[in-house]
Amino acid sequence: MDVEDLIDAYTVAERLGLSHRNSVATYMNRYPDFPKPVVDTGPTRCRLWSRVDIDRWRKAR
C-alpha cells in the first residue's frame, strides 16, 4: 500500500461529507461494514484508513 493512500479521520470525515472528524468514530460504531483502520495505534491515538476502502464504502452506500 502506498503511504499516499492512507488518510486520517479528518480526511475521512471530509470525504464522507461529515462536519467533524469525531463523527468517524460514530460511523465505526454504527455501521458494522465501515472500513477498519489500516493503522490503529490505540483508542486515543492515530488511526489511518485506506482511501480506496473509504471511497468504495461511500460509493456502496
- At 58 the pLDDT is 96
pTM above 0.85, yes or no: yes
- pLDDT tens per residue across span 10-57: 999 999 999 999 999 999 999 999 999 999 887 778 899 999 999 999
* 50 phi, psi to nearest 5 deg: -80, 125
**How confident is the model at residue 61, as a pLDDT?**
86
The three cell numbers of residue 16 are 464522507
